[in-house]
């Protein structure tokens, strides 16, 4: 194994898994530095942006030096800000792009303290510069309000010996010819399989416990984190074998009963009442958002989800045609803030709707209130729309309906195929995260990206299918309420 100094990132990763450090270093040695995906690139850019603003902000302080690189014990530390005190001691300061002090920032301070001391500095104390949670951006960015400096002397005291032990362990592992053996989390950790370039499963897609392609293993128990391990240790592998008395609640018992019966569970009265709340004219609403460490526009907070796109499907009356409206923001920046245009188009698309249907509606409610706060002219309409929200996830989370094919999940991508047999998500953009990154890198801003038209099409398609999926789900719920499942029981 190559003997380059251990980096800060490798030190932090070693806290979770030594094998991972070994494998990633071996791969980097063989392949050179690989291109990061856009998600990693975005995270790195957020970090860099926060550090650059912090550097400018602290530059006025003559007692501070920036990006100080120090080597000792076969490791290298890069201190974001090194404060020099009149008594000759120094204090490392970590800049992090989050609103709460992260354990990894404290671990970094411990590591930097050890390396600084070994290199001959009198390192005392340490601080984290973080983003202020309650900060709301004005017309311009105000770094004095954006950043909070938090002294962490107490939190890092006492952990310095464990830093030395971790460094020794890491040096020993990196000196070996072979990586350490994988741990027993292999089935839950994607890293080993990704690093070795192979899947840890047999590739058939069937689990040992499956019925007609439906996974019925105990690991699929709804919200079962607290008991799955115990059940597995007791020898249960299939849900249908678990006694109902061993299950933690009503919903898990309904799930297991549905698996045993091989048919859906329906609470017809509750489901009918839910369906009656989806009144006409009805709209189906979905937002895509972007969230950045440094608020890009006036009125925004650090990491706040800001809407960049919406899709609305609208139906005026039962059995009537369904119309589609959408909007994609040109930009969200100091130069151009599309929020007002988005709000205006949205208010028009939602006008007079008696029900606004969304999946996992608290998110849509939050975005509607955010838009109301930021666009005073439309605030009444937007708040009224938030009041008319109906959450399409509710029947599934409350087990008014459970299909065995949901396999213990209640998210949109599990519910849609389980209920309708349709799966829309074989798309160029397959989830909200990808949509937000595609918008950020290949759509927004000036000059237009050469990929803008293609990305616009993919964004429209993804967001439209999200609301079309809601149309299909509600239609299916209505069919179930009107069908034999419910009429037989009346
Ligand atoms: S499965 Fe592999 S990468 Fe994941 S924690 Fe275990 S040893 Fe590390």
Residue 391 main-chain phi, psi, to 5 deg: -90, 115
Compute, in angstroms, the gap from residue 188 CA to the centroid of ligand 1.
Answer: 9
SS3 301: coil
> Is domain 269-487 classified as CATH 3.30.420?
yes
Ligand 1, atom 1: nearest CA belongs to which residue?
186
CB atoms within 10 A of CB 151: 12
Residues with Cβ < 8 Å from 416, sequence gap 6 or more? 422, 423, 424, 469, 472, 473
Pairing type for strands 265-266 and 214-215 reads: unpaired
Q: Which two tokens stand for residue 58?
A: 């602290």
CB atoms within 10 A of CB 485: 17
Task: Kindly provide the residue ranges of all beta strands, DSSP E only, lying in 329-426, ordered along the sequence.
Answer: 355-358, 389-391, 401-402
Mutate to test the pocket of ligand 1, among 186, 193, 194 (most ligand atoms within 8 A of CB): 186
Contact between 217 and 407 under an 8 Å Cβ cutoff? The reply is: no
Compute, in angstroms, the gap from residue 186 CA to the centroid of ligand 1.
Answer: 6
Domain segments of the chain as ranges: 8-174, 269-487
Q: Which atom of ligand 1 is nearest to the CA of 180?
A: 7
CATH tag for 8-174 (out of 3.40.50, 3.90.320, 3.60.21, 3.30.1460): 3.90.320
H/E segment holding residue 436: helix 432-442
Pairing type for strands 75-84 and 90-95 reads: antiparallel
Compute, in angstroms, the gap from residue 193 CA to the centroid of ligand 1.
Answer: 9
Identify the residues whose C-beta falls under 6 Å from ligand 1: 17, 19-20, 182-183, 185-186, 189, 191-192
In this chain, the answer to whether the domains covering 8-174 and 269-487 adopt an identical fold is no
Ligand 1, atom 6: nearest CA belongs to which residue?
183
Compute, in angstroms, the gap from residue 21 CA to the centroid of ligand 1.
Answer: 10
Query: How large is the angle between the packed helices 432-442 and 38-58, nearest 10 degrees?
Result: 60
Alpha helices in 262-411 (DSSP H): 268-276, 339-350, 361-374, 379-387, 394-397
Q: Indicate the pTM of the whole model.
A: 0.85
Rg (CA), the chain: 27
Q: Which of 71, 108, 74 is nearest to 92 (CA)?
A: 108
Q: Which atom of ligand 1 is nearest to the CA of 16?
A: 5
End-to-end CA distance of the chain: 72
Query: Per-residue confidence of the chain (490 residues) as pLDDT tens digits?
Result: 557 899 999 999 999 899 999 988 888 766 655 556 888 899 999 999 999 999 999 998 889 999 999 999 999 999 999 999 999 999 999 999 999 999 999 999 999 999 999 999 999 999 999 999 999 999 999 999 999 999 999 999 888 999 999 999 999 999 998 988 888 776 667 677 665 544 333 333 344 455 557 899 999 999 998 899 899 999 999 999 999 999 999 999 999 999 999 999 999 999 999 999 999 999 999 999 999 999 999 999 999 999 999 999 999 999 999 999 999 999 999 889 999 999 999 999 999 999 999 999 999 999 999 999 999 999 999 999 999 999 999 999 999 999 999 999 999 989 999 999 887 667 777 788 999 999 999 999 777 778 899 999 999 998 889 899 999 999 999 999 999 889 865 5
CA dihedral 373, 374, 375, 376 (to 10 degrees): 50
CA–CA distance, 304 with 315 (Å, rounded to integer):
31
Q: Which two tokens stand for residue 350?
A: 């939602």
Ligand 1, atom 8: nearest CA belongs to which residue?
17
CB-facing half-sphere around the CA of 344: CA atoms within 13 A: 6
In the numeric block, the tokens 């004005």 are attached to 138
Tell me: the pLDDT tens digits for 344-402?
Answer: 999 999 999 999 999 999 999 999 999 999 999 999 999 999 999 999 999 999 999 99
Compute, in angstroms, the gap from residue 36 CA to the centroid of ligand 1.
Answer: 20
CA–CA distance, 403 with 266 (Å, rounded to integer):
9
Compute, in angstroms, the gap from residue 76 CA to the centroid of ligand 1.
Answer: 25
DSSP string, 68-118: EEEEETTEEEEEEEEEEPTTS-EEEEEE-SSSS--HHHHHHHHHHHHHHHH
CA–CA distance, 105 with 130 (Å, rounded to integer):
10
């Amino acid at each position: 194994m190559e003997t380059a100094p251990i980096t800060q990132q490798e030190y932090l990763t070693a806290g979770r898994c030594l094998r991972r450090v070994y494998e990633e270093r071996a791969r980097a040695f063989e392949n050179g530095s690989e291109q990061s995906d856009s998600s990693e690139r975005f995270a790195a850019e957020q970090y860099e942006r926060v550090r650059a603003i912090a550097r400018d902000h602290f530059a006025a302080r003559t007692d501070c030096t920036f990006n100080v690189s120090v080597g000792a014990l076969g490791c290298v530390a890069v201190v974001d800000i090194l404060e020099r005190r009149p008594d000759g001691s120094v204090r490392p300061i970590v800049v992090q792009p989050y609103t709460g002090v992260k354990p990894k920032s404290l671990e970094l301070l411990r590591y930097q303290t050890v390396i600084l001391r070994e290199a001959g500095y009198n390192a005392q104390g340490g601080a984290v510069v973080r983003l202020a949670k309650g900060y709301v951006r004005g017309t311009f960015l105000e770094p004095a309000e954006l950043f909070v400096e938090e002294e962490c002397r107490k939190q890092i005291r006492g952990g310095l010996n464990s830093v030395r032990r971790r460094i020794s362990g890491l040096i020993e592992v990196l000196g070996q010819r072979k990586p350490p053996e994988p741990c027993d989390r292999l089935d839950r950790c994607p890293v080993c399989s990704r690093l070795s370039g192979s899947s840890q499963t047999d590739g058939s897609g069937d689990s040992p416990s499956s019925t007609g392609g439906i996974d019925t293993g105990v690991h699929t128990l709804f919200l079962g984190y607290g008991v799955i391990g115990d059940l597995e240790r007791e020898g249960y592998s299939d849900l249908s074998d678990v006694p109902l008395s061993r299950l933690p609640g009503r919903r898990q018992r309904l799930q297991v009963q549905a698996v045993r019966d091989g048919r859906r569970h329906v609470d017809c009265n509750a489901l009918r009442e839910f369906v009656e709340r989806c009144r006409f004219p009805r709209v189906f609403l979905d937002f895509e958002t972007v969230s950045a460490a440094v608020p890009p526009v006036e009125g925004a907070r650090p990491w706040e989800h800001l809407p960049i796109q919406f899709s609305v499907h609208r139906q005026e009356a039962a059995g009537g045609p369904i119309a589609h409206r959408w909007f994609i923001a040109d930009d969200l920046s100091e130069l151009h803030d599309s929020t007002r245009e988005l709000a205006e188009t949205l208010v028009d698309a939602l006008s007079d709707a008696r029900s606004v249907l969304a999946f996992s509606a608290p998110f849509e409610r939050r975005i509607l209130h955010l838009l109301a706060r930021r666009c005073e002219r439309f605030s009444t309409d937007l708040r009224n729309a938030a009041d008319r929200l109906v959450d399409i996830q509710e029947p599934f989370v409350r087990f008014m309906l459970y299909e065995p094919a949901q396999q213990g999940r209640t998210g949109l991508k599990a519910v849609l195929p389980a209920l309708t047999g349709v799966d829309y998500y074989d798309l160029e953009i397959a989830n909200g995260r990808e949509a937000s990154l595609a918008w950020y890198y290949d759509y927004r801003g000036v000059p237009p990206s050469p990929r803008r038209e293609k990305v616009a099409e993919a964004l429209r398609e993804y967001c439209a299918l999200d609301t079309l999926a809601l149309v299909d789900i509600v239609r299916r719920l209505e069919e179930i309420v009107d069908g034999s499942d419910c009429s037989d029981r009346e």
